Amino acid sequence: MRPANLVSARDAAVGQIRAAFAEPGFHVAAHPGRFSEQDIRQAAQKTPAILTALLRVRESDDTADFASFVLYRANNKDRIYDGALSVVTKLTAVLKTLDHELALDVPGEISAECLFTGSLEAINVTLWAVSWSWKFIPHSMVGGIESLDDIEFFDGIDATYGIGEVELKDGFTMEGKNGDTV
């Protein structure tokens, strides 16, 4: 996919996730990649949050691998971060509905992993990585196709065929030696 198409695919995913989590105070945005501890401390200022990053492009099979990081700050009543599990559950369902003009299907290979650590507990935050893969039409990742409109579809042929002295046009019926029609 051309770089603009990679941005387009990531932004389409972020926009559709944002629409599904359109609750006040919920932060959904693109992210450049993996987190450092300092990044998490900064991002934790806007929780709950889903930050989506494109992590890898596999040109060999026209697949892009993404991760949506779920950050959740617990309150005193939710010390085991059940709220984060609710967000992860809804996010995995939303990912199964994502759409993009160059995508062959909805994302697959969805998995979620809790990245909770003691240093996150110190700031009362949990972090989940929800990873997923999205397959695109061939060559869209290496620069050949801007949209499905760029693909030429085969509509059939418009021709006249001569067999012996008989002219046949598209949509013809032929009779075989044993009387079968083809």
Please give the DSSP secondary-structure letter assigned to residue 4: H
pLDDT band at 1 (very low <50, low <70, confident <90, very high): very low
Look at residue 2 in the predicted model and tell me its pLDDT.
Answer: 45
pLDDT digits (tens, 9 = 90+) for 67-94: 999 999 877 776 677 888 999 999 999 9
For the chain, how many structural domains are there in total? 1
* Number of other residues whose CB lies within 10 A of the CB of residue 98: 20
Whether 181 maps to a domain, the answer reads no
Please give the DSSP secondary-structure letter assigned to residue 155: -
Residue 28 is part of which domain span? 3-135
Please give the DSSP secondary-structure letter assigned to residue 48: S
Whether 144 maps to a domain, the answer reads no
Task: Measure Cα distances from 68 to 9, 120, 133, 167 in Å.
Answer: 14, 18, 11, 61
Whether 15 maps to a domain, the answer reads yes
Nearest to 90 by CA among 26, 29, 39: 26
* Number of other residues whose CB lies within 10 A of the CB of residue 133: 16
* pTM for the model: 0.72
Whether 108 maps to a domain, the answer reads yes
Look at residue 73 in the predicted model and tell me its pLDDT.
Answer: 86
Whether 21 maps to a domain, the answer reads yes
CATH (domain of 52): 3.30.2000.10
> How far is Cα 9 from Cα 7, in angstroms, rounded to an integer?
5
Query: Which is it for strands 125-135 and 63-73: parallel, antiparallel or unpaired?
Result: antiparallel
Whether 34 maps to a domain, the answer reads yes
Give the Cα-Cα-Cα angle 2, 5, 9 (nearest 5 degrees).
Answer: 145
Whether 175 maps to a domain, the answer reads no
Whether 29 maps to a domain, the answer reads yes
Three-state DSSP at 8 gives helix
Is the confidence at residue 149, as pLDDT, over 60? no
pLDDT digits (tens, 9 = 90+) for 113-138: 998 877 777 778 888 999 999 988 87
